[in-house]
Amino acid sequence: MRKDYSELVLLVPLFPIFLLGVLPMLLFPLLGFTGLAVIGVLVIACGFGEYMRAMGEYNEDVIVRGYLARSDQDRHLSSLKSASRFAQGFIASGVCIASSAIIGLYWN
């Protein structure tokens, strides 16, 4: 039978990427509830970043382009509301993760 070395060819360039991604993830269980709190804070930061990006896009559309037609205003406002709901979900999940970590630290 002939051997197929296609997996071996992919292993060489992808292995450093795998190592870079795995090492920080291996540290979180060692940190315990503190690592869980760090993950919660990072999720909250992602939520705030998403909200700021959405507000920046809306402000750019409204301020830079000036007065828009009513249909365009509605479209941009709808996009802003959708993105802010998405960001609020991130923030809420980050608060839940961080609060569970704080409760875990308190109980231990």
Mean of pLDDT values over 43-56: 93
**CA atoms in the 13 A half-sphere facing the CB of 45:** 6
Q: Which residue ranges make up each domain of the chain?
A: 34-107
Residue 68's SS3 state is: coil
Q: Which token pair is 59?
A: 């402000």
Cβ contact 72:80 at 8 Å: no
Extended strands (E) in the chain: none
Q: What is the pLDDT of residues 55-76, one digit of tens each?
A: 998 888 777 777 667 777 788 8
Q: Which token pair is 70?
A: 């009513």
Give pTM, 2 decimals: 0.70
